[in-house]
Structure 1
Amino acid sequence: MSIQFILGRAGSGKTRHMLDEIRDNLREKPDGEPMVLLVPEQATFGAEYELAQTPGLQGIIRVQALSFRRLAFRVMQEVGRSTRIHIDDTGKKMLLHKIIRRRAKDLRIFAKGNGQSGFIDRVNDLYNEFKRYQIDGSGLLQHIQTNGILPDKERMLQDKLHDLLLIYDEFEQELGPHHIDSEDYLATLTEQAGSSSFIKETVFWIDGFHGFTPQEFAVLEQLMIHSAKVNIALTLDKPYESGREPHELELFHPTATTMIKLRELADENGVMTEPHFVMGGEPLPRYERSFMLAHLESTFDRRIPYKGPIEMEPSVVLHSAVHRRAEVEGAAREMVRLARDRNVRWRDMALLVRNMPDYEDLLATTLTDHGIPHFFDQKRTVLHHPLAELIRSALEVVTGYWRYDAVFRCVKTGLLPAFAQQDLPSPFDIHVEGDAFTARNITRRNLDELENYVLAFGIQGGRWTDDRPWTYKLQRSLEDEPTGPNERERAELQRVDVTRRAVAEPLAAFERGLKAAKTARGMAEALYGLLDSLKAAERLERWSMDALAAGRAEKAREHRQLWGAAVDLLDQIVETMGDEAMTPEQFAGVVETGLESIRLSLVPPTLDQVLLGSMERTRSGKVRYAFLLGVNDGVVPGRLSEDGVLSEGERDRLAETGLLLAPSARRRLLDERFMIYTAMTVASDRLWVSYPLADEEGKSLLPSELIRRLKQTFPALKEGTLMGDPGVFIPSSHEEDERTPLDYIAHPERALSYLIAQLREWKKGSQIASVWWEVYNWFVSQPEWRPKLQTLLQSLFYTNEVERLSRDTSRRLYGTHLRASVSRMERFVACPFSHFMSHGLRLQERRVYRLEAPDIGQLFHAALSMIAQNLMREGVSWGALSAAECRKEANDAVDVLTPRLQSEILLSSKRFTYISRKLKDIVGRASVVLGEHARRGSFEPLRLEMDFGGPVSELPPLSFKLNNGCTMDIIGRIDRVDSAEGESGLMVRVIDYKSSQTSLRLDELYYGLALQLLTYLDVLVTHAEGWLGREAIPAGALYFHVHNPLLQVSAALSAEEAEDRVFKRFKMKGLVLAEPEAVQLMDGSLEKGHSALLPLALKADGGFYSTSSVMTRDQWGVLRKAVRSTIREIGTEITDGTVDISPIRLGPKTPCAFCAYKPVCQFDTLIEGNGYQGLAKQGKDQLWDLLREKGEHSSD
């Protein structure tokens, strides 16, 4: 019964001394008394490995490397206390969630925080802190009553303590005698140490600790009393006697207070303190190969400038980096250099940071790119894992009314449906026809098809579990009556329905089980039933085997551990909540809390790899080369923030009353020096220190005070600068330019990236170092790298240009006889590549169940067409209707069309019902205005939605013989054809309804961007004799804007004035025949001035103002020929295979703004060869000349 302290500064050989003593004991007495090497939990694997590596030993059965918790479990097994059911942090958080929810009415502060992210974690952390500092509910209550926390002055603290006491008591009652909390392990160990023969026979060696909690001190006290001997290593420069408190600013304050406390416990219990074993040496053993590191350690708290020998390769290296990525890449290159040139093993290197979240992703990708094996020394969260996502999303399916995103989050985990395996044949290799398609045929493509279908029809809720087959079908046109599916559509619907059932059935069974269960136990059983039905365990095992086969041992362990963690989570729900009643929503909250709490502890998958860890947590063992990254101001040392349940002020108040909790923020800040000391003295051969100058957003970062201290300690230390690219490397102003491109040639993968960047600069005319040509020659000479080099070299000459389709390909896509609409012609002019995507490859955007502008425009067209058709059928003129009758007709038409629009989207919610009312208002307003048009003019609707060029159309197409021998028919549908009988003959006009403001501009017409109206008018006039039996005069081509305008006025208006202003806002745009008769037939109320209906104004002498949009008959002939010439040119270009990525720009307008194919074309004006076709704006007279010239070259 004795204790011996093994003391020494960092690197003095304390750990080596302890291991040597243990090894000597093992050699002398292989079957002697047991020994335990007690180390922090994260260091147990390394300690066991070191012992196992002992030369000449056949086994190490006498000695075990244990943590405090594993030691407690070992003793509990011996004394019979291990039968109590263990509740870990995951179970505790779920239990806390339940208690706070259940006692919400009794809580003063905490009830509001239960739904906040991280709140349960903070409450659990404080609960654990209470346990570690040996504070129980009764003790806390007694302390409060004794020391008088005054509610009047400290109401917030009083309320918090009230809530904590309530939760603490309830928590302990919930645990009862049959459960044990993780934090109670050490308390149990303290109670049972005296009854353990294992403890009595064991010699303990304790290493890797700098301080202990009161709970751990209590364990150590029992070990001193009952064990054979306790040996403890502490990082201290000298022994500290009882009663001599170290100064708070001393570097070794944490370990000094630890030693003093242990000596006091030994004296109190009559335990003999053997003579201290103080390690030393000059230099210390760890730094025998490095004068600079020895000096850094010995003068860390004194800042004495280094005056020792000049090292050929400095063992302290300092770098600044332009950003974190450059910093990590620089460290990775150095690691590769050490392994390649110095034969340094990966396991002899460690990289430490203070804030791992800032670096984790960068480290993972960069080290992988450089081929550096690595291991993160930290526990992993599981929320990213498919199994955790399946559990969360399945619960959301039930509680969230089967929303699209929840269902397909389940599907995309790869675990649903159970038989949609990833190793199924490619969907393109499976040919299943008609009724032969079954659930066993489901592939990933079928699941994608299902997702598209669900998105298109907005399917959610009960429709997922409907026994009836899904037969929802998109309505191609609102005017057409709904029809049944054709054969191809029936096959698609069957595939979708079979896939839907495969997805929905396990989730529906889970929903029934979850809703039928009224207790936590029943709900946990329902969730386990879902996982079992999906064969989740088997799937994870297979994933694990696949990961092992691919050399990803860490991922394989993650898959295996997570299944056990998930089952354990359900077990703890049953154990802690059992028969407690709860709703599915409450159960989902409990599970979410549990999943957020799960942490996986993974052992290193291989022995030879770089250790990545935090400065605070990681115990790195034997490290020759240490890399300290992110040494910035506010990070090293850190700024301590208040994010706990108790503020620092409240902790100070409790400390004043004698309640001992974790060290205060001030004490932790002072102890930062010791943490930095241990991190900077871990390496034996070289220390790399670096810091970034900016973060990912470009915000500047300042270096830590530690950087200045390093420069003071080593005045000759040169600070290098790490740039992100070798081509722009700039050495620090105070150093010679020692950097060469060779520094960036560390690994083929990264060197190839740098080479391509250098060649890109060379291509621009810059000079590059000759070594890059040697690198190029090396890659050319390597068969395994040559293909990748060739692929990347193509990027240097990439112009994002596409070749013209071959004649054969063009004919296969379009044939020799092209049938096309006018809008297709306009699309081609706007961008040939967009036309190729839409009409050549026929790519379509994924349909989504939402109301968009084209849907609204379709509704307006159909509603106004239906009104006109009804009036024509009844023989009633639109002008004969009153405003109320016009609105009624509009309402009736919209009511008929509403169920046909986007799968009844306007009937799907109250919001859409409101939108439907607004749409009725707009159609009603347009109907009233069109009625006024009819009253003021003589034109009447002749045809509505008039097809031409179709098999059963009343009018034939416009046909063209193209210059390349192909032929082309222009087909389409005209919204509205009006006619009026005049003295000069029958006049016809075209009206096109638009849901946005549109005008007919001559420049757009000349360039081929606005061909529609005049082409329609051409069709009518060309074929008039065939369908009207006489010639027709082209009276006009006009756009009618369907909207419900809002007026902005500065003074009140009468109803008549307001109506008149609204009416004028509906003035049509386009072109009108420049003849008085045509104008009078359209607007009989116009004598002079501006027309309220037409885009023109009359002078007193009957002439037209220059701003009028009119055309003479001669000009109509010019336009007709020009339009035909343009159409023929476009058709020739299409059939010749033109697919250029060359969008037009006319003023500020480009087609790219709303193009669905931007992700495909990758058009970017910064890429060589990419640029807009700039279409010059012309004057009106010049445009007429150009149109006339174009028409003269037409053969029509």
Structure 2
Amino acid sequence: MLTLLLGEDRQAGLREIIGTICERAQAGEAGQILIVPEQYSFEAERTLCQTGGDGISRFAEVLSFTRLASRVFSIYGGVSEEYLDEGGRLLCLYLAADRVKSQIKYYASSLLRPEFLKQLGKMLEEFMTYCVTPQQLLQAAGQMTGQQAQKLTELGLFYESYLSVCKTGRSDPVTRMTRLAEKLEQEDYCAGKRFYLAGFSDFTSVQLQILDAMLPQAEEMRVYLCTDGSDSGSFSCGTQTAKTLSRMAARRNVEVSRLRVKEKTDRSAALSFWLTHVLEPGGAAMDEQAEAVTLSQADSPAHACELAAGVIQKLVRSGARWREIAVAYTDEGYVRALRPMLQRAGIGAYFAGTVDILQKPLLQAILSAMQAASRFSYEDVMQYLKSGFSPLTADACDRLERYAYFWNIRGSQWLSDWTRHPDGFGHEFMDETQQTLLELNTWRAGGLEPLEALHKAWLSGRTVSERLRALSGFLEQTHFPETACEQTNELYRQGAAQAAQEQEQLYEILLTAMEQAELVLGGQEMELELFLQMFRMLLGCYQVGSIPANLDEVLVGSLDAMRALRSEYLLVLGADEGAFPAFSQAEGLLSDSERRSLLSLGVTLSPCAEERLERELGWTQLALQSARKRVWLISGSDQPSYLMARTKAILPQCKVLLQDACRFVPDRRALAAEAIREGKMWPLDPLTLQIKYEMEKRCGFSVSAISRETVQGLYGEKVGLSASKLDQFAGCRYAFFLRYGLKLEPWRQASFDAPVFGTFAHHVLECTVRDVMAQGGFHAVPRETVLRIAAQHMDEYAKNFMSAAQQTDERCAYLFRRNREEVLGIVENVADELRVSRFTPCDEELAFSDNGKLPPVIVETPDGQAVLSGFVDRVDTLDTPDGGYFRVIDYKTGHKEFDYTDLLCGQGLQMLLYLFAIERSKGSHEAAGRKSAGVLYVPGRVDVVSLEPGAGEAALSKKRQKDLVRQGLLLRDETVLQAMEPGDKPVFLPYEQNKKGELEGSLATKEQFALLEQFVAGSLRDLAGQIFSGAVAPNPIVRGPKVSSCMYCDYQNACHKDACRVAARFMKKVKAEEFWQTLERRKTDG
């Protein structure tokens, strides 16, 4: 007998089925079997046990069609029959396609590609599921013309070849269902048993064959279908299925009865009305309060997930349990954003459904190792080394990664000794350098040894079997199984039960994939790249599953996964147009029009677009019915689903939730902050409550000063200062603390960038000036000789500061040649200036230090002593009848202006400090006792210039010379200025004469220099005092909306401006006159 239970309430229908089973069990009737879809078996078993009690298993059981096959085969034979899994099917498809490739034209270009084989597998699975034979396809192709005929012919050939391959080994898993139908037809397994089916909206052709075989023998077959009897809309799929089953029973002369499920799930009137009408066209509106249905639109998927997480937290705070809440997503992008949010907030959640196992660490480790052994890319090698499966420690991996990133290590460079300086260009190779390289090479060799062995084995092997044996050897060499077991145990210890359950299955999947590849393609030759693609897709064919590890967890799953589940509260995440409901295209290799053509020839396949839409509406209806109290539709798109507008039409007073209405609290600390902000007594757990009390005490939080002991520990008893340190501290105290206190260095790649070029240019200029002065000075040495001396020092630099590998590297050689030409231009410009100047260089790289020609600058503060050490690039002197003068020269390879605003902020003091230190120095140094003539910043680079089209060489020279004008501050003394560069129109110096003959530019009187000396000394004491005081709070300089210390700061990501108070210093551009007035005012004010 066939009993069709029909009703619009899916939960009520399931309760009716379960209730009937339990009533008959109480009467002592055994042999009752509830058949549900595979993915709903756990929920059905739990519901049956909750309703029927502990003893229900003696009278009834829950099976899927797959488990039913295992039960039947275990009794009547066939249980030992082996079937292909998803991975084995992919490999058999490769073999089948290879056998017929000579007959293929339409699909010839993509024949053996893994992506095509995966699509082909879905197509052949559909053929078998709908009981279509190769002969039917070939016959249909004979009745068509053109491209359609060619496609169907080739698909028929693939199908025949695939079935032929399966006959020599394992069968396709779909044929297992066909054999089940045959076995049930032959045997009396169903005799006297009652079968119940729930959770199905329709059945495939193979499943209908199984039901057709069961009907004549079964005592009763009771099927629940969610339908109201209509032939269109969301209930049409259930109606058509009922008709199909009725016709099938009539052919078997089996009595059919139809029963209506009158019971309804206890829901509010608004929710019941909404579930009944939201997917059906037309109908009147319900103009009443509808708190049970809530609509919300966020501006992005991430914000939609934040809103959903905030709703969950609010529900729990109001007394709901996590297990009463379900989240149904329509797109994987939403769950990728939601998972870390729930984890961070401590919300217990079980993520149902399948996962992308290729993103799991264990398989990522093996896949990255395989790719690394193939091409040794930086990304693949480091991903393997840091996976936890390599023999290296985390510290060794970090140091290897830093070196490899710094020097852009690729390919064969991983397999040879590293000889480049760990600190980059321009550093001398010391004993410590060699020791560091020795450590790095030891780690490199140890970590790369298994990869190199795998690489060599793959080079010598050609067949799939040889490649798999090499991979197996790699797993043994790296102790992969033992490490995987240790990681699984650690996950259990950490309480990550779901991750541990998945991890346990991953290594088995890896072994299964290797066994399948050996079994099917072992003797097949395959290029390494194709083998890697195939193996990756082979692993991707498998799935891992898990069961909820805790009783109280939020259930998160796809919308389809909610079709047979129950919850009090349902959040639909991703209620976007085209996704809710989904308007899917035809799967496989056939379009809808081609399927219609086949249908007209008697070949039935999966539904076309219209039928797929009706099925999707039916599945959406079943999923929405999982909710009993409330439903939220949340969109993260600017095009929400039409069902949201439909909801607003039929429930005008439904609740609309704004994006910021339910604030997501990401962790206990944030939860405590939210409770403080709201000013309400929330039911917080003891740990969160304690955090709340602590935060209330620290509401005025800011970065406090570090202690005196910490200052000494970080910087020493005497704080060592340099020009760069002073500029960093003056620019922002927090950046100084991170760089020089905590020693945090940003990651960079080695290149001839500004710092390296600067070191190179400084070295060449220093040595060239020294040698030229030794040969009589720039007035005596010809231009060609000067350039030859500079070239010699460039060669010496390459020899002393660049390894042999760097000198032979094509990229390094090109960059070095380019920089040589630029530095030669700088040398020529410096020589031209000194050739006309009466100032002569007396010292290069003048050191201010304990071992230098001049002592360091000592800064005394009430809290301690700071010592400023450094170098002056060049000191020039001049002798006149009125006495001697000197000037300080600094080569600047970057863009440098003499900026009065920087001076007021404490930046750019370096050369002025050294200028006044030399002026006050006593001793044998040649500049001692002379008067200061100023400081000059000499451009140490030749920039590319922009000219108008058609401009000649003269325009280029004029523009370039303008860029090479020195910056700085000079003594307003015409005698001294003429000695630096004679003439009324200086080419090199930063001043000029106006029409009145007055000097204009960066000039200062003796009195102003004296005033400046006092200001510089005071600024230095103030900066040193702040360092000793432990000040580390951020205080960046802001000079406009697009100009600030933060703009190019290396530590932007470490600066928590959202949590810490930032005392920004807003500064406008200061002109020279205003600067001197400020210094006068400060002197007057004391």
Distance 2:1075 2:69 in 1: 93
- Partners of 1:171 and 1:864 lie apart in 2 by 76
1:485 aligns with 2:432: yes
Q: Output the CA distance in 2 between the equivalents of 1:1116 and 1:253.
A: 94
Decide which moves more: 747-756 or 210-219: 747-756
The answer to whether residue 1051 in structure 2 is matched with residue 1157 in structure 1 is yes
SS in 1 for 2:925: helix
Structure-2 change in CA distance of 1:1193 and 1:982 (3 Å): farther
1:827-865 Cα shifts (integer Å, max 9, x gaps): 322223333333344433345434432222222222333
Q: Which residue of 2 aligns with 1:954?
A: 853
3-state SS of paired residue (1:991): strand
Worse-matched range after superposition: 170-179 or 969-978: 170-179
One-letter amino acid of the counterpart of residue 484, structure 2: L
- Which of 217, 225, 229 is 1:235 aligned to? 225
Q: 1:1065 to 1:10 in 2, by over 3 A?
A: closer
Confirm or deny that 1:181 pairs with 2:156. no
Whether the 8 Å CA contact 1:295–1:306 is kept in 2: the answer is: no
Contact map agreement 2:227 2:236 (CA 8 A) in 1: no
Deviations 1:613-662 (A, max 9, x none): 44434343565665556555544433334675433344344444443221
Note if contact 2:227-2:235 (Cα within 8 Å) is conserved in structure 1. Answer: yes
Change in Cα spacing, 1:473 to 1:204, as seen in structure 2 (3 Å) is same
Find the counterpart in structure 2 of residue 404 from structure 1. Answer: 378
The answer as to whether partners of 1:416 and 1:534 remain within 8 angstroms in 2 is yes
Distance 1:994 1:555 in 2: 56
Contact 2:295–2:644 at 8 Å: present in 1 too?
no
Is structure 2 residue 347 aligned with structure 1 residue 357?
Answer: no
Asked if the contact 2:181/2:210 (under 8 Å) is kept, the reply is yes
Question: Paired residue for 2:304?
Answer: 324
Q: Which amino acid aligns with 2:691?
A: K
1:144 Cα deviation from its structure 2 partner: 0.7
Deviation, structure 1 residue 1021: 3.9
Please, which of 936, 941, 945 is the counterpart of residue 1043 of structure 1?
941
What residue number does 1:452 align with? 402
- The answer to whether the aligner puts 1:868 opposite 2:769 as a matched pair is yes
SS of residue paired to 2:895 = coil
In structure 1, the residue matched to 2:516 is 572
CA distance in 1 between partners of 2:534 and 2:339 (Å): 32
Q: Which amino acid aligns with 2:238?
A: T
- Equivalent position of 2:259 in the other structure: 278
DSSP-derived class of the 2:989 partner: coil
Going from structure 1 to structure 2, the CA distance change for 1:848 and 1:1049 (only over 3 Å counts) comes to closer
Verify: 1:600 aligned to 2:541, yes or no. Answer: no
**Residues 210 and 1160 of structure 1, relative CA distance in 2, 3 Å threshold:** closer
Matches within 5 A, 1:775-786: 775=682, 784-786=687-689
Given the two structures, how large is their TM-score scaled by the length of structure 1? 0.80
Task: Say which is worse superposed, 978-987 or 548-557, in terms of deviation.
Answer: 978-987
- 1:638 corresponds to 2:573: no
In the TM superposition, residue 355 of structure 1 has moved relative to its aligned partner by: 0.3
- Residue 193 of structure 1 deviates from its aligned partner by 4.1
**What letter corresponds to residue 448 of structure 1 in structure 2?**
D
Measured in 1, the distance between the counterparts of 2:648 and 2:1038 equals 59
Q: CA 1:1151/1:1042 → structure 2, altered by over 3 Å: closer, same or farther?
A: same
Q: Are the equivalent residues in 2 in contact too, given 1:898–1:904 (CA < 8 A)?
A: no
CA distance in 1, matches of 2:291, 2:1085: 83
- Whichever residue aligns with residue 1032 of structure 2, its letter is V
Q: CA RMSD in A?
A: 4.3
Query: Is the partner of 1:690 in helix, strand or coil?
Result: strand
Q: 1:796 to 1:109 in 2, by over 3 A?
A: farther
Pairing 1:645-684 to 2, within 5 Å after superposition: 645-682=589-626
Query: 3-state SS of the aligned residue for 1:387?
Result: helix
Structure 2 residue matching 1:485: 3-state secondary structure: helix
Q: Which residue of 1 aligns with 2:197?
A: 206
Residue number in structure 1 paired with 2:656: 721
Deviation at 1:179, TM superposition (A): 2.0
After superposition, the Cα gap between the structure-2 partners of 1:642 and 1:1040, relative to the gap in structure 1 and judged at 3 Å, is farther
Distance 1:816 1:536, change over 3 A: closer
- Equivalent residue of 2:829, what SS? helix
Contact persistence 2:935–2:968 (CA under 8 A): yes
Percent identical: 23
Q: By how many angstroms is 1:485 displaced?
A: 1.6
Using the TM superposition, give the Cα deviation of residue 459 of structure 1 relative to its aligned residue in structure 2, in angstroms. Answer: 4.1
Task: Give the CA deviation at 1:387.
Answer: 0.3
Alignment partner of 1:756 is 2:657: no
Q: List per-residue Cα deviations over 1:485-504 (Å, max 9, x = no partner).
A: 28xx84x6665455444422
Residue 408 of structure 1 deviates from its aligned partner by 2.3
Q: What is the distance in 2 between the residues matched to 1:818 and 1:752?
A: 37
CA distance in 2, matches of 1:645, 1:921: 61
Q: Structure 1 residue aligned with 2:448, among 504, 508, 520?
A: 504
Out of 270, 287, 300, the residue aligned to residue 265 of structure 2 is 287
Instruction: Provide the C-alpha distance between the structure 1 equivalents of 2:292 and 2:667, rounded to a whole number of angstroms.
Output: 26
Pairing of 1:443-842 with structure 2 (within 5 A): 444-466=394-416, 473-474=421-422, 478=426, 481-485=428-432, 490=435, 496-606=440-550, 609-620=553-564, 631=575, 633-641=577-585, 645-682=589-626, 686-692=628-634, 695=636, 700-702=638-640, 704-705=642-643, 708=646, 712=650, 718-723=653-658, 753=670, 756-757=673-674, 759-760=676-677, 772-775=679-682, 784-793=687-696, 796-798=699-701, 800-803=702-705, 805-815=706-716, 817-842=718-743
Q: Distance in 2 between matches of 1:950 and 1:102?
A: 83
- The one-letter code sitting in structure 2 at the alignment partner of 1:790 is Y
Counterpart position of 2:1003: 1110
Alpha-carbon deviation of 1:1011?
1.6
Which of 382, 385, 388 aligns to 2:363? It is: 388
CA deviations on 1:537-566 (whole Å, 9 max, x unpaired) are 333333433443444332221111112122
Q: Is 1:1173 the equivalent of 2:1065?
A: yes
Deviations 1:1128-1151 (A, max 9, x none): 333333334443422223466432
Work out whether residues 580 and 641 of structure 2, in 8 Å CA contact, stay in contact via their aligned partners in 1.
no
Aligned position for 1:1139: 1032
Distance 1:896 1:837 in 2: 36
Aligned-pair distance for 1:664? 0.8
Q: What is the SS of the residue equivalent to 2:124?
A: helix
- Deviation track 1:441-497 (CA, whole Å, cap 9, x = no partner) reads x4x33433343344344444445444x6x675446883x7532228xx84x666545
Quick check: 1:210–1:234 contact (8 Å CA) kept in 2? no
With over 3 angstroms needed to count, the CA separation of the structure-2 counterparts of 1:110 and 1:1083, relative to structure 1, is: farther
Q: Counterparts of 1:406-421 in structure 2 under 5 Å? A: 406-417=380-391
- Of the structure 1 ranges 540-549 and 316-325, higher mean CA displacement relative to structure 2 is found in 316-325
Question: Contact (CA 8 Å) 1:859, 1:901: kept in 2 or not?
Answer: no
AA aligned opposite 1:833: Y
Structure 2 vs 1, CA of residues 688 and 321 (structure 1 numbering), >3 Å: closer, same or farther?
farther
Are the structure 2 counterparts of residues 575 and 980 from structure 1 closer, same or farther at C-alpha, using a change threshold of 3 Å?
Answer: farther
Residue 354 of structure 1 contacts residue 636 of structure 1 at CA under 8 Å; is this kept in 2?
no
Among 1010, 1020, 1025, which residue is 1:1127 paired with?
A: 1020
Equivalent position to 1:1094, from 963, 984, 989: 989
Q: Give the structure 2 partner of residue 1011 of structure 1.
A: 909
Task: Tell me by how many angstroms 1:1041 deviates.
Answer: 1.6
For structure 2, which runs of at least 5 residues remain unmatched after alignment?
none
Distance 1:484 1:212, change over 3 A: same
| TM-score between the two structures when normalised by the length of structure 2 | 0.87
- Are 1:141 and 2:37 an aligned pair? no
Counterpart residue type for residue 924 of structure 1: L
Does the 8 Å contact 2:568/2:630 carry over to 1?
A: no
Structure 1 residues 540 and 338, CA gap change in structure 2 (3 angstroms): farther
1:1032 equivalent to 2:930? Answer yes
SS in 2 for 1:998: coil
Q: Distance in 1 between matches of 2:670 and 2:156?
A: 60
Measured at CA, do residues 4 and 414 of structure 1 come closer, stay the same or move farther in structure 2, by a change above 3 Å? same
